[in-house]
Chain A
């Protein structure tokens, strides 16, 4: 096993790797195979938002009341965010069963009826973790045909605050193996694996490491980019919260290969739980001498510090991120020199995305050929996506590169909510684009999406249906970039502002002929006149919506109408008298503005003056009546 095995006990009295590993395995087996039931509760941010902490408390209280001996472990996010809170129960004699949409009442029942009794409460089952006779397993799900979990494999199965869980599932074995290889060999492995950066750019990772290794200047650094600024993306959050050691291990291997001595994990401020979990993970790794001096008895020393970002989108850009760690405002600088030559404190610095680093251990463990065998063309390995918006199975999905958008949205994501029609998918965040139905059969890889006018970006996908207005979406994304522009380049600062104003007018029905041409002109100027990726890509949402949904712009401009019935200035809510059920008061009760009154015939009427167009009445009106409708333009409401 290379150096670690031969060099005897490491300095400082820390135990050797095989010993660390076997201790972890013993604890893991005790947890799963001791004959005691085990309950896993997913308490990542998405779980918590759905009430996981309350469920956890209810489980513990009920176990106490029933005086039951049972282990309870908090785990991360499985990716089935649509079904949170999620609880998994492993009881001897049964396969490990996963329950979805658990609340405090269901939690109490699971304890009483399944842990204390012997009824596995099949009505709440989401799926079993392994194949069995009793309940369908996740591998029977239609989506399983398309998924391939590599970097998400631990997420939701291990306790991210317990390093032994990670070790027991094979963690840090790649590090131990890497420390027995010359750095050049690791670089060549990563190169022939074809690993490309998952932060959006798709730059070959091995080349980056090699440049850093060969560049003069010491000490060198490795930075993990966990800024994840794209709104609508949450893959990096989920990985940092659910399996932080996989990222730390990747950083250590990157550090060893590129000759670095120090590392920083940069996590955005909006992710307090990820910050906490990374901090715990770093402390535990240090204790076992997996970071620090002479790691695992080798000559390699590397320390990692956590740096919490401060809420600025531009800090995801690598040179801005570095400025931010140096204590300056996060303003990008011109490249070259690239950070791998001149980065943090002017020294060679490797900067990689969370997912890029999480891939590394698997390449070292399974070999470059294995990794290169997954994926397509020039895009190797898997891609992790965050599905959000109007898709049924919101959450995380990991699929081989080259999977099509259709497979991802319809097979993995189970299609569009409420039986509505798919309209577009917004990929790549504010720098990306919106792809229409005709693009659904595109394979997802670095190059195809770019050709279609979007980009893979970091992996956020917001799915949109017939009720979503593409002009409004373009306006929103432009407003976002405008606000986040650091202001250094005039065209980025003022050009996006002007674009935003024009789009604002169009969505308010005040657009003018010639607006579309002006948008296209502005887009070209901003692209040409901006220094960093933020400005260069800022016009993408406008250009891609114009490319695929130009007719929607034109309807806004020419008819003052919003075909998707979304733009608030162009719609009105109206109750169709013939459909209104006289005995029903659902809308009246929910309207916080008291804008709905009942006329003499007990038919409900909306006072257009008072209405703020929040849509609550439309949601409240029972589907069998569907009396509340949106009309555009608003003057279609009968007087």
Chain B
């Protein structure tokens, strides 16, 4: 077993030990595990299915149905561009294009250095500040293409410091 697999097993065990075993506990279990791991690995879904005594397919069906769940690891920082009605009409799609160009990835993808993942979201309830981009759980209002670089600025030194450490 790799260190990664051991980690997944341990975290899955921790979540399962705190939760009920009814089918109705499935979504909360998945939510808590994703909060710890950042995504839902195949191995964890199998473990959860066993523990709840339901087919693995049912777990997979639920995970793929809901937009919130991820099957692949996220980047270190997440960029989610709102494409709700208010944001769309105020140019959210133009902002999304700017993010795509800046990070050189599309929605649902992750940068090769695993720093950022990009995605869209349908309204985070900040419509009064449209267009909105959510950066690591913080909604930021009035994010036009010109603000994209500025938002990434604070992350730059962080990355350079780490790169320096590796060297």
Mark A residues whose CB is within 8 Å of B: 45-46, 48-50, 81-82, 84, 228-234, 237-238, 269-272, 307-313, 324-331, 386-390, 394-395, 426, 429-430, 460, 462, 464, 468, 473, 476-477, 480, 484, 486, 590, 592, 612-616, 619
Contact = CB atoms under 8 A, between A and B. Distances in A.
Contact of B125 (A45, A82, A313, A592): A45
A328 B138 CA distance: 30
B65 A327 contact: no
B57 to A, nearest CB: 12
Interface of B: 22-28, 30-31, 61-62, 65-69, 83-91, 94, 97-98, 101, 121-130, 132, 137-141, 144-146, 148-149
A45 B137 CA distance: 11
Contacts of B89: 389-390, 462, 464, 468, 473, 476
B31 A308 contact: yes
A46 B126 contact: yes
Q: Would you list the 7 A-B pairs with minimal beta carbon distance, nearest first?
A: A231-B84, A81-B128, A310-B66, A394-B128, A311-B67, A388-B127, A231-B123
B31 A615 contact: no
Given A327-B26, A394-B128, A426 B146 contact: no
A616 to B, nearest CB: 6
18 contacts: A46-B128, A48-B139, A229-B122, A230-B123, A231-B122, A232-B86, A310-B27, A310-B69, A313-B122, A327-B26, A388-B86, A426-B85, A430-B85, A473-B85, A477-B85, A612-B101, A613-B94, A615-B91
A397 to B, nearest CB: 11
Given A49-B132, A233-B123, A612 B97 contact: yes
A389 B90 contact: yes
B84 A232 contact: yes
- A307, A309, A614, A619 — most chain B CB neighbours (10 Å): A614
Contacts of B98: 592, 614
B65 A329 contact: yes
Contacts of B145: 592, 614, 616
Contacts of B121: 270, 311
B129 A46 contact: yes
A311 B85 contact: no
Contacts of A614: 94, 97-98, 145
Given A394-B127, A468-B89, A330 B144 contact: no
B125 A234 contact: yes
Nearest to B149: A592
Contact of B123 (A232, A325, A331): A232
Contacts of A484: 122
Nearest to B139: A49
Given A307-B27, A330-B65, 13 more contacts: A46-B141, A49-B126, A81-B128, A231-B122, A269-B68, A308-B28, A329-B62, A388-B86, A394-B129, A486-B65, A592-B146, A592-B148, A592-B149
